[in-house]
Structures are given as C-alpha cells and as structure tokens.
Amino acid sequence: MKYSARTLALQALRNHRGWPAAWRHAAPKKSYDVIIIGGGGHGLGAAFYLASQHGISNVAVLEKGWLGGGNTARNTMTIRDNFLYPENVRFHHAAVNAWHSLSDELNFNIMLSKRGMITILMSDRDLSDAHRMVNTTALFGAEHRVIDLDELQQRLPMIATPGRLPVVGGIYHPNVVLARHDAVAWGYARAASNLGVDIIENCEVTDILQDDRGVTGVETSLGRIQTRKLGMAVAGHGKRVAAMAGVNLPIETIPLQALVSTPIKPVLDNVLVLRGFNTYFMQSDKGELVMGAGTDPYPSYSQRGTPQIPEAIIAAILQVFPMFERMKFLRQWAGALDITYDNTPIISKTPVAGFYVDVAGSGGFKTTPLAARLHASLIANDRPDPIIEAYSLERFGSGRLILERASYGNR
C-alpha cells in the first residue's frame, strides 16, 4: 500500500484497523543471491539498493534481534559533514545530501528536520582547526562558517556570559539535519520487502562458511543458508562477525552513551557542540534535551550506561548554559561502536572472495543512505565506487590511513 494523504484519510475512516504490516516476516529459504548480516539502517539500506538499483532481489537480511534494535535506534540522529580530510569531506558531504530525497524514495516519512549546528570553541587551537575545516569543506561545496563572539551570543542568548568562560568563537553549520532514527530502519525494511527482499528477524549468524572460491553461506540460529555473496553491516559486532570468516578487522568496540532530560517547551533549534568539553546536546521534537559526549575510555560490548559519563556531560553543559540547572534527568543508554583505528569508515572487499564489509568508522548514522548504496554497488559489481576507494581495508596494510580528528564532540 502506498502511504499518502488519501490512504491516511481512508484508514482514519476505519479507525486505522486496515493498515497492512509494513514488511513481510519471511522464513529463510535454502539459498539467496546475496545475504546481508545486520538489520540496522546500513544493512536494510544495502538490501533495498541491491533490489532497487541492481535488480538483485533474491536477498535476505538476517537480524539476530529486532529491526533497528542496534545502534540505529540508539543514536542521537545528528547528520553532519564537518570533517578535516578531503576523502572524508567528499564522502560525508555527499552523505548529508543523500538524506534529502530519502522520504520520497522510500515513501516513508523519516522526519528530516533542518536544525543547523553551532560548535562553541574554547581555545585558539580549536579556532585554528575550525578555519582549516571551514576552508577544506568549502572546496567540496559544504557550508560552515566561523562566527565571532558577538554573533555567537546573538544566536545563543542563553549562553553564560562568555567572559566567564574561555569561549573564543564558534562555527555555524547551517546544513546539519536530524532524522527520526528508527523510521530509517522501518522505511528501508518496508521498501526492500516490497521489492521481494526477505527480512528475517531473530536469526543470528553464528558462522561464515567458505570453500576455496570464497563464501558459500552462513550458519544461523535458524539453520544453514547458502550464498556466494555476503555483506556485513553489524555496527558494534564487526570484529566478532568478520572473525567467523577468518578476517581480522582493525577496529575496537567501545561504548558510546547518551541521555535525555524530561521534556520542556522549545528553547533550542540548533544542535550545540561544546568542543572543549567533547560534549553536545540538542532539543528533540518531543522537547527533551538529548545529550552526548565522546566514547567511553575503554573497549566493551556493554550497552548499559555508567554514572560518570552523564555526570561529566551535565557538568559541562551547565558550565556554559546554567539556565538548564533545574532540569530533570530522564534516562540514559549506551550502544557499542566499532571504531576504526583512523576514525574513518571501511566499506570494502575482504581477503575472502564474496565477503564485503561496511563499518562506520566512528559514528555512522549520518552516512546511512550513501554507505548503504555504495555497499550495495560494491556487492553487485565486486569493485568499489571511486568515492569509497580510500575506504578499502588495504589502507591498513599500505599505511594510507586517513587520521580523521574532526569528530567535534559528537559522533
């Protein structure tokens, strides 16, 4: 069924009891042309683009839990392109642009919201990095602007008197957007399922099978399934799943936490990054302040939060915005991130023929539509699109790393 104002009105007349399931709950077949491991935005997106752009619809997405239950539904939704190195700027700028047509492409409202972002700078080194980032990104058509203290105060009248803090200026990023994260997983699932893709939940991949020509299939909690092409998009579990194929990925799995306050009336439209404190926050459509920071300081697969990280985040925000002092803490959570050693994505073939991987690198909600499309094209054509050539696994052998350090507090 196509979602439209007309179908919405017709369903309203039936008390919304006639909506069909958004996607088919498929049982696994004996074999598929392509299997994708991981039912988050990246995996479901890759399956959708295999079917819609490459005519390959004999595809299964295998998800060990429920769709979007991984990092796709745990992230803070910030979509930005403020990177320092040309390969990353080119990729992330194209990735931001890819979001704008996604609701139409999927016939699913992903609730894209143009918010803009302000990065508050607190040292001369941050200011000099900011000029470099603004100039580099401008070469690729991305728009960021260094702003002085007067403009910062004008845009954020609620900031504590800058004289009290070592605030030296800011960066204004007008094109930063947010998207409703689980809608992205549901939208891709529905669109892929409509094109014939099998979406199989509660199906954990426990082994990857090979012969001397490459991948032959997977062992799963629902039995063995054959395929000659296997894509992996399992943020936070990449090292373990790739190891099933004998591939040792150069990544470390580290928790990333976030928290929200109870809701208040709208006071903040931008995403705010406190560069010196490695902290960021924004106000959600429901009115909660959504707050986050950098990763935890140790590797772990834990998805629970700890008291110390929220304490540090809240202390940082209150230093700069004391007006939020009486807000109430609602809840916190964590997700496990696969961080590459150079903070840059891996979208690549592997030494095992027919086994392809999409690892976000640092934070990868922002890249979902583009990374998924290019992962699909890599699987279909067995060669990378030029924009992801630099994201090959080979860079860890050749030393051509892209040592990205422009995370600017938020993933």
Q: Which residues contact ligand FAD by CB under 6 A?
A: 37-43, 62-65, 69-72, 74-78, 204-205, 233-237, 241, 256-258, 292, 335, 337, 360, 363-366, 410-411
CB of 183 to ligand FAD, least distance (A): 13
The residue among 167 and 208 lying less far from ligand FAD, judged by its C-beta, is 208
Contact 371, 358 (CB under 8 A): yes
Q: Which of 41, 76, 73, 46 is nearest to 60 (CA)?
A: 46
Query: At closest approach, how far in Å is the CB of 208 from ligand FAD?
Result: 10
Between 168 and 225, CB nearer to ligand FAD: 225
Minimum Å distance from CB 92 to ligand FAD? 9
CB of 17 to ligand FAD, least distance (A): 30
* Angle, vertex CA 338, rays to CA 83 and CA 172, nearest 5: 25
Q: Tell me the C-alpha distance between 375 and 287, whole Å.
A: 35
Compute the distance between CA of residue 188 and CA of residue 49 in angstroms, rounded to an integer.
9
Smallest gap from Cβ 273 to ligand FAD, in A, equals 11
**Based on CB atoms, which residue is closest to ligand FAD, 310 or 363?**
363
Cβ 226 to ligand FAD shortest distance, Å: 16
Q: Considering beta carbons, is residue 144 or 237 the nearer one to ligand FAD? A: 237
Q: Which is nearer to ligand FAD, 103 or 410 (CB)?
A: 410
Helix (H/G/I), strand (E/B), else coil: 150? helix
What is the full DSSP assignment across 320-359? H-GGGTT--EEEEEEEEEEEETTS--EEEE-SSTTEEEEE
Kindly tell me which of 167 and 247 has the beta carbon lying closer to ligand FAD: 247
Q: Least distance from C-beta 242 to ligand FAD, angstroms? A: 10
Phi, psi of 290 (to 5 degrees): -105, 125
Instruction: Measure the CA–CA gap between 77 and 92, rounded to whole angstroms.
Output: 15
Is the CB of 42 or the CB of 229 nearer to ligand FAD?
42
Residue 25 CB, nearest approach to ligand FAD (Å): 16
Q: Closest distance between ligand FAD and the C-beta of residue 400, in Å?
A: 23
CB 202 within 8 A of CB 64: yes
Per the listing, tokens 């916190």 go with 332
Distance CA 239, CA 51 (A): 27
CB 35, CB 241: distance < 8 Å:
no
Angle, CA of 63, 411 and 351, to the nearest 5°:
55
Question: Which two three-digit tokens encode residue 269?
Answer: 């439209």
Could you give the C-alpha distances from 46 to 39, 191, 207, 359, 397, in angstroms and in order?
10, 12, 21, 13, 27
Nearer to ligand FAD, 314 or 337 (CB): 337
Dihedral sign for Cα 59, 62, 67, 72, please. negative
In the complex with ligand FAD, the residue whose CB is nearer, 205 or 406, is 205
As a whole number of angstroms, the distance between CA 63 and CA 69 comes to 9
